[in-house]
Amino acid sequence: MNLEGRRQSRNVEDRRGQSSMRGIKLGGGAIVVALILMLLGVNPMPLLEQLGTQETAEQTEGGSGFTQEEEELATFAKIILAGTEDVWTAQFAKYGYEYQAPKMVLYTGATSSGCGAANSSIGPFYCSADQTVYIDLSFFTSMKSSIGADGDLAYAYVIAHEVGHHVQYLLGTLGEAHKLMNKSSKKEANEISVRLELQADYYAGVWANNDDRMYDSIDDNDIRNALDCASKIGDDYLQKKANGYVVSDSFTHGTARQRNAWLKKGIAYGDLEHGDSFTPAYSEL
């Protein structure tokens, strides 16, 4: 991808290298202090608030301590988020809506979210409770090493897919789907989940189409990498790779073919009109 000279989003909270305790971001030393105070019967919260502020300041002033690769990925994520802001602001305006951009939290290992504890093992996710995308940047290196999915647009697709869930939230699709899932059987709920995920794939394609129109950012090789990534994170592909067999009723994100097709469709059309994944019969997705 051509990202030279692009702006970085300001809607990013960088929690990398920090721990979380009751919403206060702390390093290891502060946590030890908290435990000692609690053992002595002293309320640690006033001191922790001060320590948390001091440690954040020290990290900012003293350098990040992250590898060059991770810093480049952090910059990349901020640029891609900014691109989604530009694209979806313009897309919403076309339909007379005002786009409200999500936040993004970068973290290491685990953190807290409006939807509960966030752990890197679950991968990037969108939380509608606080309208925030959560991502541990190590996911990208794991994606490359474990399934061979690589390339700028492949990584960007992951971020744009989660922002796609935010678009669903703003349009009311996400809330309605979750209501249906709560009163459906497990199999039916999984099918609704697949529809949500495929639409988010489509919206990621919409972003890619319009980002390229705005910034001439994408070439054919980028698209091949993204479509390859979409195929390799299909439920059937991952289940077969992990277990040697697939259980179709357990699918929650869609097959390799479906995910590739809906991302490709979004790239082709670049609009909201062709992204209805809820009307077709499930077998036709």
Residue 41 has pLDDT above 80, yes or no: no
Q: What whole-number percentage of the chain has pLDDT above 70? A: 84
Residues 56 and 82 in one domain: no
Is 218 within a domain? yes
Residue 106 has pLDDT above 50, yes or no: yes
Is 190 within a domain? yes
**Final residue before a domain boundary, out of 43, 62, 81:** 62
Number of domain units in the chain: 2
Q: What is the pLDDT of residues 122-146, one digit of tens each?
A: 899 999 999 999 999 999 999 999 9
Residues 125 and 259 in one domain: yes
Residues 105 and 207 in one domain: yes
Long-range contacts of 141-145 (CB under 8 A, 24+ apart): 141/69, 143/229
Residue 253 has pLDDT above 90, yes or no: yes
CA distance 191 to 280: 12
Give me the pLDDT at residue 19, please: 62
Full residue range of the structural domain in which residue 26 is found: 18-62
Is 215 within a domain? yes
- What is the phi/psi pair of residue 134, to 5°? -110, 135
Lowest-confidence range among 39-43, 129-133, 156-160, 179-183? 39-43
Residues 261 and 130 in one domain: yes
Is 55 within a domain? yes
CA distance 171 to 256: 26
Residue 102 has pLDDT above 70, yes or no: yes
Is 244 within a domain? yes
What mean pLDDT, rounded, does the chain reach? 88
Q: Are 177 and 264 in contact (CB under 8 A)?
A: no
Residues 82 and 169 in one domain: yes
Residues 202 and 225 in one domain: yes
Rounded mean pLDDT, 42-55: 46
Residue 1 has pLDDT above 50, yes or no: yes
Residue 26 has pLDDT above 60, yes or no: no
**Final residue before a domain boundary, out of 8, 34, 62:** 62
In terms of Cβ atoms closer than 10 Å to its own Cβ (0-12, 13-18, 19+), residue 107 is buried
Q: How many CB atoms lie within 10 A of CB 17?
A: 16
Residues 195 and 234 in one domain: yes
Residues 183 and 101 in one domain: yes
Give me the pLDDT at residue 18, please: 85
Residue 204 has pLDDT above 70, yes or no: yes
Give me the pLDDT at residue 38, please: 43
Structure token pair of residue 136: 């541990």
Residues 101 and 214 in one domain: yes
Give me the pLDDT at residue 59, please: 41
Is 8 within a domain? no
Residues 118 and 146 in one domain: yes
Rounded mean pLDDT, 156-166: 98
* Residue 191 banded pLDDT, cuts 50, 70, 90: very high
Is 5 within a domain? no
Residues 218 and 82 in one domain: yes
Structure token pair of residue 162: 């989660």
Is 279 within a domain? yes
Instruction: Look up the pTM and report it.
Output: 0.85
Residues 139 and 271 in one domain: yes
Residues 6+ apart with CB under 8 A from 54: none
